[in-house]
Amino acid sequence: MTRPLIQYFLALVLAPLLPGIINRVKAFFGGRRGVPILQLYFDLYKLVHKTPVYSRTTTWLFRAGPVIGLAAMLCVLALLPFGGRPSFLSFEGDLILLVYLLGVARLATVLAALDTGSSFEGMGASREVQFAVFAEPAFFLALAALARGGGGLSLSGIFSNLTPAAWLTASPVLTLVTASLFIVFLAENSRVPVDDPNTHLELTMIHEVMVLDHSGPDLAFIFYGAALKLWALGSLIACVILPRHYGSWLVDSGAFILAMFFIAAAVGVVESVMGRLRLLKVPYLLMTALTFSILALIFQAGR
């Protein structure tokens, strides 16, 4: 029981490191020194000490949004395996709960954005719900392709069933699933090529524009929730690309954390080498992810 708890708290503590790594990689590609790798920790510390500013248009829903969003992410982390080991709330069917908890966070964020009555936040909310329509089936089918390989319906079961041998015999399936999950991961976390967290034009933003009006501790909750989401969806990819388990909890956990850092670095590379897509093209990118998932399922059926 203590180990799942330690895993959980490790995830809580390490998650804000991921955006720092992404920024450092981007700075490296841009030839800059970049912000400190612990910048998000400093920001969170600063924000929780500030007094929030609320628009007169907003209501309790605006304040509930960040709270529910962060709570849903904390609940998601309690479902996710860590280094191939089950977490304390792992059960048969937890992958279904996982997707719907992400839905809870989405609805809370979108409603909080609409509560401000700002047209920019309306735009961001509209895009958020639009892209989820394509991302959610892709995500579900990618998980279904993995579940078809055996191991039951819990994420821990599926991933502990995944061995290096699976990568030898079913590499096309796993490659396609990884690609699909990576696209969904970028879209859900509002990264390039779907959304650019660094853009300075509100008209083209998605996630950043939805939280324009939040400030102080609320904004800290949102930043922290976003970091946890990055960790949560990234850990699914880490579990796929790191099928090897050594048996020692320390080594496995260490390897898993390194894999997470590697994924963050990969996001940084993607953001450095390509631009953001036009918003109209994003559904097609997500449909590519859906196609990858379906292809993975077909290949899995042919095995």
183-222 residues in contact with other proteins (CB under 8 A) are: 202, 212-213, 216-218, 221
With contacts defined by CB under 8 A, name the span among 72-80, 171-179, 180-188, 230-238 that binds other proteins.
72-80
Dihedral of alpha carbons 53, 59, 60, 61, sign? negative
| Nearest CB to other proteins, comparing residues 22 and 220 | 220
Within positions 81 to 110, which residues make up the interface with other proteins, using CB under 8 A?
A: 89, 91-97, 99-101, 103-104, 106-107, 110
- How many residues bind to other proteins according to rule CB under 8 A? 80
| Nearest CB to other proteins, comparing residues 25 and 297 | 297
Q: Does 43 bind other proteins (CB under 8 A)?
A: no
What value does the CA radius of gyration of the chain take, rounded to a whole number of Å?
19
How far is the C-alpha of 22 from the C-alpha of 30, rounded, in Å? 12
Q: Does 166 bind other proteins (CB under 8 A)?
A: no
How far is the C-alpha of 68 from the C-alpha of 107, rounded, in Å? 9
What mask, x for binding other proteins by CB under 8 A, covers residues 232 to 271?
A: ----------------------------------------
Contact 220, 44 (CB under 8 A): yes
Position of tokens 């977490």?
Answer: 87
| Nearest CB to other proteins, comparing residues 266 and 296 | 296
How far is the C-alpha of 3 from the C-alpha of 85, rounded, in Å? 9
Q: Does 170 bind other proteins (CB under 8 A)?
A: no
Within positions 113 to 132, which residues make up the interface with other proteins, using CB under 8 A?
A: 114-123, 125-127, 129-130, 132
How far is the C-alpha of 185 from the C-alpha of 180, rounded, in Å? 8
> For residue 166, with 0-12 CB atoms within 10 Å meaning exposed, 13-18 middle and 19 or more buried, which class applies?
middle
